[in-house]
Structure 1
Amino acid sequence: MLKTVLLVCLALAIAIGGGAGSVLYALNHSASFGAIHVGPWVAFPDIGTPDADPYMQARYAREGGLALGRAEGVEFRASEDTENQPLSIRCRYRVEGETPPARFWTLYATDEKHALLDGIGERAAATSSLAILREAETTRFVLEVGAEPVAGNWLPVSGTGSMQLVLTLYDTPIANRTDLTDSVLPSIRRIACDG
């Protein structure tokens, strides 16, 4: 009798542990379902719709994200630069180019757990289309990301480890398109690294 109870407990432990492990694996390694890549940027345009992949919905909910519907906008994330090198808080980057037409957009830096990075002093590690200086008579801009202040557009980040840049376009016509791959998004180029 004791042997039967122990076997049942062992079977339950394997089933529950294996099930929980497979769910965690699926949540952590299913990032490519429904992903659209535009250079270093990755978007999941279906995340706020009924067509969303359940694994991506679960991961987004676990991160505490608020999914945008197609009519609201689209969020792009970059964890690598244009040369496919991981983004590091210890490096300086130049984000350069244009964004697709949008009523408003934000750009901010997060750590690997998707928490907003610390800025420097009173400056947050975030900016928006209202705060960006653009080139004369164009929508093109240049923004430097790093710990050292620079003239012009600067996104201050501090700390160590990897980071992500998150570009969110609000009220944009590209959110309703099924193919975002021909969209024009800014490049992310590494300038220098500290160590």
Structure 2
Amino acid sequence: MASIEIGSYEPPSDTNLARSVARILLRAVGLTMTIAVAVAVGIWSSQFMVSRGSLLSTDSYGPWEHWRNLGRDFADPYTKAHIANSGKLRIASNSAGVFEARTDNLGARLHSSCNYVIEGSNMSGMWWSLAVFDARGRLIANDANRYTFTADTVAPNPNGSFIVTLGRDARPGNWLPTSGAGRLVLVLTILDPSTGLSDEARAERNKMLPIIRREGCS
């Protein structure tokens, strides 16, 4: 009878075993890092869309951002979260335009270490207010107790236009103090007339938003 020779079993060497374990560990670390990065990006993008908006929720006019469905019942979740986080009044976007600016017209971040000139055109009889806040949405404490200018309190130019300045040091005219607040946010609110505005009139209104010009920084 023919005999069948069975080969002897040779266990893997320590070197091969170590390499296999290393490959498994590297894959596990890589997967963990991928998941962590994905979660971090997701959280950052959600926070950004809540605080700054996106093409899905906001319109941009130069440095000014407008949440198009602000205060409306059918607003998207990011718009609703933006209102909840900022503590803003729920002024519906079909009765007022609320515009936020965090940069000047050249795209530089607004900061209390710089001086700014805000040049606005005649608002054609519409009531408006302009206020400056810190990055956390708080009014900036100051000895002059100046926090906002409105269509009723601003000193206009003869042609109905206006100039408001921002800066730490007092100056004549329509000056809003920024103290040492750091990063700044400007909020411009324009109320629609009682008769309302058509889409065409609202588009014309949005073309009249002020220019934000930086004068210098210290």
The answer on whether the counterparts of 1:89 and 1:158 sit within 8 Å (CA) in structure 2 is yes
Match for residue 163 of structure 2? Answer: 142
Amino acid at match of 1:61: A
Within a 5 Å distance, the mapping from 1:73-92 to structure 2 comes to: 73-92=96-115
In the aligned structure 2, how far is the partner of 1:175 from the partner of 1:74? 11
Within a 5 Å distance, the mapping from 1:151-190 to structure 2 comes to: 151-172=172-193, 177=199, 180=203, 183-190=207-214
Q: Does residue 29 of the first structure (1) align with residue 52 of the second (2)?
A: no
In the aligned structure 1, how far is the partner of 2:167 from the partner of 2:184? 11
Amino acid at match of 2:146: A
Q: Does residue 114 of the first structure (1) align with residue 137 of the second (2)?
A: yes
Over residues 112-169 of structure 1, what are the superposed CA-to-partner deviations in whole Å (9 max), with x where a residue is unaligned?
11111223x1322322111111111x22111111111222211112114101110011
Match for residue 128 of structure 1? Answer: 150
Q: Which structure is higher in helix share?
A: 2
Most deviating of 150-159 and 178-187: 178-187
Match for residue 7 of structure 1? Answer: none
The answer on whether the counterparts of 1:36 and 1:180 sit within 8 Å (CA) in structure 2 is no
- CA shift for structure 1 position 22: 8.0
- TM-score, with structure 2 as normaliser: 0.70
In the aligned structure 2, how far is the partner of 1:98 from the partner of 1:146? 21
Most deviating of 21-30 and 172-181: 172-181
Dislocated runs of 4+, deviation >4 Å: 20-24, 172-176
Amino acid at match of 1:38: Y
Match for residue 29 of structure 2? Answer: none
CA, structure 1 residues 174+162, in 2 after alignment: closer, same or farther (shift >3 Å)?
Answer: farther
Query: How many residues of Structure 1 are paired with residues of Structure 2 in the alignment?
Result: 176
- CA shift for structure 1 position 87: 0.1
Larger radius of gyration: 2
Amino acid at match of 1:73: A
The answer on whether the counterparts of 1:71 and 1:176 sit within 8 Å (CA) in structure 2 is no
Within a 5 Å distance, the mapping from 1:89-104 to structure 2 comes to: 89-98=112-121, 100-101=123-124, 103-104=126-127
Aligned Cα root-mean-square deviation (Å): 2.8
Gaps of 5+ in 2: 1-35
Gaps of 5+ in 1: 1-16
In the aligned structure 1, how far is the partner of 2:107 from the partner of 2:97? 22
Q: Does residue 42 of the first structure (1) align with residue 43 of the second (2)?
A: no
